[in-house]
Amino acid sequence: MPEFQSKMRYKELVDVYEALTSTTKRLEKTAILAEFLKNTETEILPIVTLLSLGKVFPVWSEKEIGIGLKLLMKAISLVVGVSMDTVEDSVRDNGDIGFAAEALFANRYQSTLFTRPLTIVKVYKNMTKLAEISGKNAQTRKIRILIELLTSASPSEAKYISRTVVEELRVGIGEGTIKDAVSEAFNIEKEVVERALMLTNDPGLVAEVAKAEGEGGLKKLNLIPGKPVKPMLSQLSPGIESSVEEMGAAICETKYDGFRVQIHRRGDEIKVFTRRLDNIVKAVPEIVEYVQKCLPHEDLIVEGEIIATKDGNPISFQYILQRVRRKYEIERLRLEVPLIMYLFDVLYYKKPLIDTPFGERRQVLESIAKVEPSKFELSNQVIVTPENIEDAQKLFESSIKDGHEGIMIKDPLAPYMPGIRGKKMLKLKAEPETLDLVVVGGTYGRGRRANLIGSYLMAAQDEEGNLKTIAHTATGLDDATLLELSNKVESLMIEKKGRKVKARPEIILEIAYSEIVKSPEYESGYSLRFPVVKRIRDDKGIEDIDTVHRIESIFNARN
């Protein structure tokens, strides 16, 4: 830790906390904070900025204070000289550890003559020490450090030390206020501050550079492998046609139902961050091995989805959570629940790439990643324009059939926008609930497929048990199953006109789809977007099929 010269009192920060709490107006909060940041020595500006957010370390830091409420209460009881019960009662009465500490400290007998006033550096240093303690007697050593701080604290200082320790500052400051305050304090465009925050995720560094080097300094800040960035987020697609139309040409990708990670490599060090910016590298040793084997030994940041498999098929998200949260027996679990990595973006390769259009980033990814099937792959993708929308539909169908969630629709011209939920990346998912519907007819294919029924007319039942058509579904089946289904429907045929047939309603199919829409085309008044056959339900009879009423209520719930 650097040797700090600053003697700035912790009380000054506490006064700011109190002032911030006294107003709910964002502009006033910004002004208070801006004034304080302006008057803080550059040396401790990073610390003060983090502390004003109620943090000691940036979000991506692996350091944690690691003090539970119980331990803090114990420290308070020892410093104030009251029983644990008294502290517990006070927390209950006040509804907050901060108010409780303040009240208890107000009644403390203390000879302030012999205590030195707390400085910001002292508070920060002790908090940092807390994070460094582990192993034997950790609790005892931690409590000693806390006691040292609290002994010198005034009631209001005790209030904010307590809240900082349990990471609940409650002064109503978020990153947005920090952005505005830094901009106001150092007279820098908000957008420049925002971008610097987005790229570094380090408000302390941003404030320091803003003060020391101004706008020019902030503009020079960029991604650094090893420091995670917030992931770019997606919106729901309002419909494939309009989304593709808006983008002109879109890159559609399989949407894997897994766990998003950002992999950073800097020199020999590899880190794997979750979307909440936690480094889970220890839990996923095979991903590290794949990165070593399949990506060049260069500084880089790539992003992708990890999925878990059993017998080669994707399995529930729960299993991945089991894997990534795991601290022990990782090697055993690794064999039981193998992981597959699907990369879908690159943010840094030798240099930052976030301003490079997505289409070009993908080319970089393809040029650097060596694919290992079923281990380390690139996301499956097709380029879709308004002229070949059916390719998006085919991708959707094959994605669902392979046990994935749906598709992503991405703008090839878009930069990477950390933390932004914009229109440049859209998702189209299958509804979580499938429908069981009965085959009432079908249509023969053309050409080579002329003797195979390729598309099936599906129906649901109304309240009286009458069948009402709702959709044609074409695919989702492998060739053998399609042949089996076609033969079955032929054997139930009651009418044939041209390529169209009607069949006795006996075969039940489980259908996944992206959306229910109103449609005059079908008897039910509804239709399914992107219907995909998940399986033939031999175990179900006509009385088990879904009702128009249920379809209506799913529609109403979504619209």
Assess 253 for contact with ligand AMP (CB under 6 A). Answer: yes
Q: Restricting to residues 340-359, which ones interact with ligand AMP according to CB under 6 A?
A: 344
Smallest gap from residue 231 Cβ to ligand AMP (A) = 6
243 contacts ligand AMP (rule: CB under 6 A): no
Rule CB under 6 A: choose which of 408, 437, 508, 551 binds ligand AMP.
408
Of 367-396, binders to ligand AMP (CB under 6 A) are 379
When the beta carbons of 252 and 300 are compared against ligand AMP, the nearer one is 252
Q: Min. distance of Cβ 379 from ligand AMP in angstroms?
A: 4
Neighbours of 334 (CB within 10 A): 16
Write the interaction track for ligand AMP spanning residues 44-83; mark x where CB under 6 A is met and - where it is not. ----------------------------------------
Shortest distance in whole angstroms from residue 261 CB to ligand AMP = 9
| Residue (231 or 505) nearer to ligand AMP, CB | 231
**Piece of 12-20, 247-255, 262-270, 293-301 that binds ligand AMP (CB under 6 A):** 247-255
Q: Please count the CA atoms within 13 angstroms of the CA of 417 that sit on its side-chain side.
A: 14
State which of positions 420-459 bind ligand AMP (CB under 6 A). Answer: 427
Torsion of CA 71, 74, 76, 80, to 10 degrees: -170
Please, what's the b/e burial string for 284-308 (b: 16 or more CB within 10 A of its CB; e: otherwise)?
Answer: bebbbebbeebbeeebbbbbbbbbb
Tell me the β-bridge partners of 549. Answer: none
Handedness of CA 20, 22, 24, 26 (dihedral sign): negative
* 372 versus 478: smaller Cβ distance to ligand AMP: 372
- Minimum distance of ligand AMP from residue 427's CB (angstroms): 5
Structure tokens given for 49 = 């900025």
Stretch that binds ligand AMP, among 61-69, 253-261, 314-322, 366-374 (CB under 6 A): 253-261
Q: Determine the 3-state secondary structure of 99 from DSSP.
A: helix
By CB under 6 A, name the one of 36, 60, 186, 256 that touches ligand AMP. 256
Counting residues that bind ligand AMP (by CB under 6 A) gives 12
Closest approach of ligand AMP to the CB of residue 397, in Å: 16
List C-alpha distances in Å: 489 to 208, 430, 435, 537, 546: 72, 26, 19, 14, 20
Q: What is the DSSP letter of 43?
A: G
Site residues for ligand AMP, 20-49, by CB under 6 A, read: none
In terms of CB distance, is 231 or 314 closer to ligand AMP?
231
Residue 350 Ramachandran class (φ > 0 left, ψ -120 to 50 alpha, else beta): left
Integer Cα distance of 88 and 70 in angstroms: 9
Residue type, 551: I
Q: How far apart are CA 321 and CA 499, in angstroms?
A: 49
**Of the listed pieces 40-48, 97-105, 201-209, 250-258, which binds ligand AMP according to CB under 6 A?**
250-258
Q: Which stretch binds ligand AMP (CB under 6 A): 35-43, 73-81, 254-262, 290-298?
A: 254-262
Judged by CB under 6 A, does residue 255 bind ligand AMP?
yes
Nearest CB to ligand AMP, comparing residues 348 and 456: 348
Beta strands in 228-350 (DSSP E): 233-236, 250-255, 259-266, 269-273, 300-310, 313-314, 339-349
Is the Cβ of residue 30 or residue 234 nearer to ligand AMP in the bound state? Answer: 234
Q: What is the DSSP string of 120-141?
A: HHHHHHHHHHHHH--STTHHHH
Contacts of 396 (CB under 8 A, 6+ apart): 240, 406, 407, 428, 430, 514, 530, 532
- Tell me which residues are annotated as active site: 255
Name the closest residue to ligand AMP (Cβ): 260
As measured in angstroms, the least distance from the Cβ of 298 to ligand AMP is 23
Minimum Å gap between C-beta 350 and ligand AMP is 23
Site for ligand AMP in 79-108 (CB under 6 A): none
Q: Which residues contact 113 (CB under 8 A, 6 or more apart)?
A: none
Element (H, E) at 150: helix 138-151
Q: For ligand AMP, which is the closer residue by CB, 157 or 405?
A: 405
Structure tokens at 253: 């990708």
At its nearest, how many Å lie between ligand AMP and the CB of residue 417?
Answer: 13
Interface residue list for ligand AMP (CB under 6 A): 231, 234, 253-256, 260, 305, 344, 379, 408, 427
